[in-house]
Structure 1
């Protein structure tokens, strides 16, 4: 069976998209769980960045190993650093600096809901950057629904006497914005280099930068890993490596608009897994916000079938 024969049929699309979003959704409880196992506190910023550095260095190496198995060239392609470095800084360094710090201050279910806003930020940025990808009535309606879900979370804090968004939630929103901006850079880079090359090397570069930023404060190996914590690190690396492989193949062999709606499964899976693995309570406010964000994602990704074009893309969602 060829890749096209697997990824084009509806069952293959459902299986690959479902597994990718399930993996991405699991990142939220696994990061919180890893913090507990390795005794990383909410204020241990450099320890959080070091752990992120471990994860993305390992994820980048896993993708390069995959390229090696497929006999793809691992050699540096002249001029590609101009593409790789901005993506590495935005997608891995900045996004996950905000993300890991934000997750240390927030519940896993809240982080999963906020992750759904990546699609909304991406649509707004595409409206600004691409003349042929402007907002229309359907997209605007979806954006309003989705951001209303985000506002519901904020107003719940305000009603309890806090700010409209906590510091942790603000950091997670900044992380979602960085991810959306990096997606546009990755989409542009995919026209010049393979998605494996771009993502493998940008994760490796970003992971090493995170290691260098944090190691001068923490040392390179301050953690005491055991079987459970080592498994969590490996799982998170696989989430980044395998999730991108599955999703980009789905996007390559199918119409973009016909599969983008599967992104609503990320916050759904994230909330469910956080509730199960972390025993976090599903408050009514979180469920309402989740419903609105998921509905917004479905609405903004509605397209007229006659306007769809099969095209490869390098969408990164992450967790």
Structure 2
């Protein structure tokens, strides 16, 4: 049997590998970013420096994808009529998401940031519910979301948090997760007519250059003293961004948003495990409970529907 891209990314094992791989890469970003900040002496309140660092990361990620396209013999030139769709994705998935994210993280705790990161799935499923006639929220999806989000809450509270503060920083984090979910759904829509590598590279390039411009306006063009270690971590962050978004956008292209979104709950779980390993942070037993809840939510959302909960048959945009 000939394995096409569509067959690979619609096969259960292909979906599992791609979605888990992308979320693992994104989860690994949390400890690497913290290590990068320490290496470059970027303080908690230095928002412009954080945004500039993010701009460097995504611009480099875009250039890596473009270089890969050249090696594959693909054209990297502008595709007529694509600028509007690419600009919308870059605005939401890269620029707005990370402006709000870095500002929000500067005033919130890591625990609350981890909890709120799981809300991307909620926003993504809600947006898809409005945009796609065959990707409605069902009782099965709702149950899976509740179970999976419970795992995210357990991950956050495993650090010993006893209360929840909600202010401007937390509102910004929620805004970041909303724009991330919106960007993912827009990517799925545009991938019908645009090549995944082309779409991902140019949206990252536009968003990365915009982030760099904003950061440089407040911190200068090059406020960092890069060491070889810092360069290595920046390169890793760029590679994980490029590979993570290519994997995620591809699996989103060929599958319903509602069934794939659950995998986003794995990001904070991977982040906790990798932080425990790389940053020597304590790993609480409750994290294992969180992992079980997240896995259970994924199983619930992706199990074979019963006759009372029929699966949609196509991907038609609402008129």
Could you tell me the TM-score, scaled by structure 1's length?
0.81
1:228 shift after superposition: 1.3
1:88 aligned residue (87, 90, 102): 90
Mean Cα deviation higher: 294-303 or 84-93 = 294-303
Q: Within 5 A, what are the aligned runs for 1:245-264?
A: 245-250=246-251, 262-264=263-265
Deviations along 1:180-235, one digit per CA (max 9) or x if unpaired, are 11112111111221111111101000010111112122111110010111111111
- Give the corresponding residue for 1:66: 68
Q: Distance in 2 between matches of 1:289 and 1:147?
A: 9
1:238 shift after superposition: 0.7
- Give the corresponding residue for 1:45: 47
Q: Within 5 A, what are the aligned runs for 1:93-242?
A: 93-105=95-107, 111-148=113-150, 160=162, 163-165=164-166, 168-242=169-243
1:272 shift after superposition: 0.4
1:55 aligned residue (45, 54, 57): 57
1:282 shift after superposition: 3.9
| Secondary structure of the structure 1 residue equivalent to 2:204 | helix
Deviations along 1:109-167, one digit per CA (max 9) or x if unpaired, are 6544433322221111222232332221112223333455566789999x84x654365
Q: Distance in 2 between matches of 1:303 and 1:55?
A: 39
What is the RMSD of the two structures over their aligned residues, measured on CA atoms? 3.5
Instruction: Sort the Cα spacing of 1:250 and 1:148 in 2 relative to 1 into closer, same or farther, 3 A.
Output: closer
2:134–2:313 Cα contact (<8 Å) kept: no
Could you tell me the TM-score, scaled by structure 2's length?
0.81
5+ residue gaps in structure 2? Answer: none
Q: Distance in 1 between matches of 2:144 and 2:16?
A: 23
Q: Distance in 1 between matches of 2:141 and 2:10?
A: 26
1:303 shift after superposition: 4.9
Mean Cα deviation higher: 115-124 or 296-305 = 296-305
2:66–2:76 Cα contact (<8 Å) kept: yes
Q: Distance in 1 between matches of 2:136 and 2:169?
A: 31
Mean Cα deviation higher: 19-28 or 298-307 = 298-307
